[in-house]
Chain A
Amino acid sequence: MFLLLILALTALCAAASEYHERLLLRPLPQNALLASFNFRSNSSQQSFDQQNFRYFPRSLGQILQHAHTKELHLRFSLGRWDAEVWGARPWHGAREGGNGVELWAWVEAESDDEANARWSTLTNALSGLFCASLNFIDSTRTIRPVMSFEPEGTHANASLQLLHGTLPHEVVCTENLTPFVKLLPCKGKAGISSLLDGHKLFDASWQAMAIDIRPVCENGECVLEIEQTVDMVLDLDRSKRPRADNPIPRPLPTEDLECDTSKPYHAEDSCYPLDKGTEPGWSLEQVFGRAIKGSCPLSTEWWGDEMMAGGKTVCINVDPERTVDVRSAKPYGEVKEGHMRCYQLPDGTDFDLELHEEVIPPIPLDQPPLHAARAITGYGQERGGVESVFTNPSLTETLEIVYLESLPWYMKPYIHTLKARLSPAAALDPIKETYYRPASDRHRGTHLELLLTIPPASTLTLSYDFEKAILRYTEYPPDPNRGFDVAAAVVRLVSGGRPEYLRTTTLLLPLPTPDFSMPYNVIILTSTVMALGFGSIFNLLVRRLVAADEVPPTPLVLALARVRGRVGAALRGLLRKGKKE
């Protein structure tokens, strides 16, 4: 399905001004549901340059023009994708970012300074637009990746610079969703975007919001395309709990508890929870709190995908045997194929899907091509280590990956300790290329980019040690004892033709933190005073006072004096000789 979408992307027809939307629902194991929203609109480069915006949001368009940004990718993410249970990532990881906010853009500039200035303009403007602290992406958080990112659009201009910045500590919440929804032509009033409710989105186990803007050219005609993506994994049990009367997961009434009656001790008062092995039932209204409010009248047909021909906007990925009830007052379109069912939304009326609890085999999930985990090792205030573990589950394919780390300047890695271990051990050196730009205190963070090879069925452990810097006391944030967030590492798989990405979790780096409290300062001061007083009195009592002329000169001083005397005498002799002559 995703492959088709990506193909659709490349085989894009240069329509003048279009808007499409699509929702994919996929029940995942352990009572989870993936909801993947995608909104795409475009405008021709010509009308964009003339500030003639239709579906393309004007606010964003003007920022891009002002900051001379040609391609932009913005990510708001929260939580972790559990690849072990949920399988491969949606969009092959290309539409998600590290925890917090991640931004990268290709900026047109003649020099580095100009690029930095335009980057700064861009982050400040976006910060206002998205209610996020994007303005905190300063020079210490900005890097220029070399291998990790490639432009998605077509760019004729060569003088483009790629800049990348992350805010790992940014908490993504409703204030970021509202401006996001506002950029859509139907603004959450109709179409699938009417399901985007902050309460549900931010209660998800994992969620990512993405904005991608790229110029796409074909046969000399260029359009500027904006793609907005919202992916979330909802916990069905949690989401189905009605907000109004019982938002709290109180223990079930005893009679509602489903017990394993085969247990010998099963009784009135003992209940071993039963694992029913069923796929849970749910409906859009239960999960999202509301049904879809008809189709967005502005949307046009989705191209490239046969399943979605005829304005089929909502797709659900379930077993063909499973019953899906559709509730709609007006006629709707439906098409079934394999594990996929797509529906055309009716105009101006509510549309709801309902699935019942059934014993049915779960749908097959794609397995992720790579597992990655990163953690801080060691403890203490002075130094630590980072260990990243990559596992290539494939039995046949060798993986080639680019590993990108953007570390804050106060975390100083020792690159000589960078080690890559393969298990099972292999003769080849897994590190093919290294790009390293060391940090400069208070100006620039570390940029480390590695090209790695992982043989089939192998685990690569990458580790390095680092030193923790001591900050100036004004440089600590208001909650210094929490620790400092280190941005997620970006992993790009370069083996396949399409871009595939994966992000590790962020890290929490505890730095040596002074005790900012009053008693500590009092202790330090009084100890200093006491040490001073004690020291001087002890000194006076115990030291033997001797006049300076009584001290016998040390042998070294004597030897020096002797040498000096001899040299002096020799010099004087020479001088006298010279005078005489």
Chain B
Amino acid sequence: MASLSTAILSLRRDRRILKLPPYLSVVLIVVGVVWLFMLPLNEYSRQTYVSENALLPGQVHTYFGGSEHNVFRAYRQEVAALAEAPVDERVQRLEEIFRSSGLKVATQSFEYKAAGTTVQGKNVYALLQGPRADATEAIVLIGAWRNMDNVLNQSGVALVLTLARYFKRWSLWSKDIIFVITEDSVAGPQAWVDAYHDSHDPQFVSSLPIKSGALQGAVALDYPAGIWGHRFDKLHVVYDGINGQLPNLDLFNTAVSIASGQMGIGCTLQRMWDHNDSYKERLQTMLRGMLNQGLGHATGPHSGFIPYHVDAITLQTVGDGWHDEMSLGRTVEGLFRSLNNLLEHLHQSFFLYLLLHANRFVSIGTYLPSAMLIAGSFTVMSIALWIKSGRPPTNSDAPSSEKAPKPSQPTKSSKLKNQTFTAVKSGSATVLIPDALLTITERHMFFPLASLTAISFLGLVPFYLFNRTPLPLLAPAYQIFTIATLPAPHILAFLTPRLLHRRPTSQELTLLHCFSLLLLGMYLSALATLNFSLSTLIGVLSTPFSFIPSARAPGATLSRREKARALVWSVLIALLSPTNVIWAATVALEVDGGLGEVLRRASFGWWVNGLWTSVVVWLIWWPAWFVASFIVGSGIW
């Protein structure tokens, strides 16, 4: 250890130490990104497996069928008859059906005011008290009245009603089962699960009159087939939760293994309708999953459950095939039998994973280094900038320094040939020490810290703006904000010398850059453990912020080449502004409803689902961009 310390100490003043970090940083980014692309390979991903012994997926015979099909058809007719009915009539009718099956029924109304719109509705839910249960645990079956595409979930709701009647006859339930029919797929389930955990605002969401125990799992059905039914081809398993949180992999695996293993229904994920398990398709699945995770939005009625540590998935029917509602019903029966077997809350398997295929995944241990390396690249650059800021500027004379006696330090004599020396007496010994080692450069921290704090807080402006603006004004407000903020850092860079009555020194700008990268690296590495995808996405899009040209010294004039370089950089940074990226992504991904819809969802997510993505964008990413742009601007103006 001692020799290592000496070796490191000898590097302290080495000129090379400042040359290395940019290369190191580039290497980290390249390795991080390449790492990501290696993940779909067989060597880096794994076959999924059911980790929890108690689940025993597909080990039970399922009996849902026969005359239950007749009942299902009747319920589907009932649901169809209610399609256009007013909310209260529908709720009352659903209550009657549940009650005739011998369940306890209750309703909940909610009214959210977000993004300038009002979303209101009524949830109906029924409680099947498990004969072996003691009200300590419960599992949930959700059928949203309208699915994510706002289509009537006719067969889905009818299936929930039929299963409720069918499940009532079994005596083996060791947990209560709650059947929930929510108004829609985002606000309704959120209102219900919030109220179940008493974290709702009673002004907007009414409390639940009937409750059971701790929720152990939730399954949502999305089967919008009409009264004539529709034979489907595959089950689309949707698993993304709010803020990129995921359900326990065991739940997903159980669903896949029951559907494909027992019922012979193929499973697919992330809208990859055809998946041949090739590298390209695996990568595409993974990237789509990362995008969904990064956005952290609600992808189905199950999403709101996951932040409460209730593992939840949505089963969506897709395609044209030969599987009918009874196969789906038996899948759900098998899944509930498995969940009923659980002795403990799902905990055995992974909570942090990337799925490549219905039975292939990458675990956190394998993928996390990628995001960490990218986040680390900012930290490396920030350390380099900190060291640089503590050194005297190379092109100017060293400022006068107090020549205090210093203890001799081991240095390499070969490096010292062309330097000026100072004789230092220490006791009886006299040592020649190079001047460079004795100069002390004071770091002027006030300007960098103050401006960084101010810019960071400036992020609250768009955050407030886009969460408060009413819906019709959202898209125009965003466009105006984008156009207004692109030149803003440059204007600030232009104004700063005039307001301060001096140019910020190159050291101050270096420190500002250093702190900004330090914060970014710190936030991103912390975020990587919570929402890997969001951290990676922002990390990759922010990489140029590390390499912007160093600020010139005050008074120095720019050569033509330097000026051109600065201009190119300022254009590049401007293009990578968060506002531009979001705009471009909206256009590129052809989001229905365009920019306005994206902003509405973000705002709705913040108010209703507790979505943190906008916080990350406006308070981490945007300030980092602003600082980078400001530093580039300072080089020009």
A interface residues (Cβ-Cβ under 8 A, vs B): 30-31, 78-80, 82, 84, 99-100, 203-205, 235, 237-238, 248-254, 256-257, 259, 263, 265-266, 269-273, 275, 373, 375-379, 385, 387, 479-483, 485, 505-508, 510, 513, 515, 517, 519, 523, 537-538, 540-542, 545, 547, 550
Contact = CB atoms under 8 A, between A and B. Distances in A.
Contacts of A263: 74, 77
Nearest to A516: B347
- Closest A-B pairs by Cβ, 3 of them: A508-B136, A249-B169, A481-B344
Interface string B1-36: 000010011011000010000000000000000000
A94 B11 CA distance: 82
A80 B383 contact: no
A251 B66 contact: yes
Given A235-B171, A482-B345, A505 B67 contact: no
B516 interface: no
B266 interface: no
B100 interface: yes
Given A270-B74, A273-B100, A378-B197, A540 B5 contact: yes
A203 B174 CA distance: 12
A272 B96 CA distance: 13
B321 interface: no
B360 to A, nearest CB: 19
Interface string B144-178: 00000000000000000000011001110000000
Contact of A379 (B78, B133, B309): B309
Nearest to A99: B134
A378 B198 contact: yes
A78 B134 contact: yes
Given A263-B74, A273-B100, A540-B9, A251 B67 contact: yes
B609 to A, nearest CB: 15
Contacts of B78: 272
B64 to A, nearest CB: 7
B17 to A, nearest CB: 8
B272 interface: no
Nearest to B227: A265
16 contacts: A82-B129, A204-B131, A248-B63, A253-B66, A263-B77, A269-B70, A271-B73, A272-B74, A378-B199, A385-B198, A483-B345, A485-B136, A506-B136, A541-B11, A545-B409, A547-B407
Interface of B is mostly: loop
A542 B71 contact: no
Contacts of B343: 479, 482
Nearest to B345: A481
Contact of B70 (A271, A481, A537, A538): A271
Contacts of A238: 131, 169, 171
Contact of A251 (B68, B137, B365): B68
Contacts of A547: 406-407
B387 interface: yes
A30 B105 CA distance: 14
Contact of A257 (B12, B70, B197, B409): B70
B214 interface: yes
Given A30-B102, A485-B136, A540-B5, A251 B166 contact: yes
A100 B347 CA distance: 26
Nearest to A205: B131
Contacts of B198: 377-378, 385, 387
B104 interface: yes
B484 interface: no
B565 interface: no
- Pick from B11, B69, B386 the residue with the most CB of A within 10 Å: B69
Given A265-B77, A377-B197, A541-B383, 13 more contacts: A204-B131, A249-B169, A249-B170, A253-B67, A259-B74, A269-B73, A270-B77, A376-B214, A483-B214, A505-B134, A505-B135, A542-B386, A547-B407
Contacts of A379: 197, 199, 308-309
Contact of B129 (A80, A378, A385, A480): A80
A419 to B, nearest CB: 14
Find the residue from A203, A257, A375, A506 having the highest chain B CB count within 10 A. Answer: A375
Contacts of A266: 74
A541 B387 contact: yes
B165 A506 contact: no
B213 interface: yes
Contacts of A542: 383, 386-387
B404 interface: yes
B66 A254 contact: yes
Contacts of B386: 542
Interface string B39-79: 00000000000000000000000011111111101110110
B37 to A, nearest CB: 24
Given A270-B77, A483-B214, A550-B404, A507 B66 contact: no
A545 B77 CA distance: 82
B211 interface: yes
Contacts of B406: 547, 550
B62 to A, nearest CB: 11
A257 B66 CA distance: 11
A100 B136 CA distance: 12
Contact of A506 (B66, B71, B134): B134
Contacts of B213: 505, 507-508
Contacts of B348: 517
B1 to A, nearest CB: 9
Nearest to A374: B135
B171 A251 contact: no
B70 A254 contact: yes
A266 to B, nearest CB: 8
Nearest to A248: B63
Nearest to B65: A251
B631 to A, nearest CB: 22
B404 to A, nearest CB: 7
- Most chain A CB within a 10 A radius of its CB, from B11, B134, B170: B134
A154 to B, nearest CB: 36
A272 B409 CA distance: 92
Interface in B316-358: 343-345, 347-348
A257 B211 contact: no
Contacts of B134: 78-80, 99-100, 505-506
A250 B309 contact: no
Nearest to B68: A251
A273 B169 CA distance: 14
Interface in B372-386: 383, 386
Given A82-B129, A542-B386, A250 B308 contact: no
Nearest to A488: B134
A519 B66 contact: no
A320 B165 CA distance: 32
B330 to A, nearest CB: 11
Nearest to B310: A379
Nearest to A513: B347
Contacts of A275: 100
Contacts of A99: 134
B63 A249 contact: yes
A204 B63 CA distance: 22
A157 B30 CA distance: 86
A80 to B, nearest CB: 6
Nearest to B77: A265
B135 A80 contact: yes
A173 to B, nearest CB: 10
A385 B199 CA distance: 11
B204 to A, nearest CB: 18
Contacts of A80: 129, 134-135
Given A265-B77, A479-B344, A540-B5, A271 B63 contact: no
A484 to B, nearest CB: 10
Contact of B136 (A270, A507, A537, A540): A507
Interface string B611-622: 000000000000
A519 B348 CA distance: 11
Contacts of A82: 129
A341 to B, nearest CB: 27
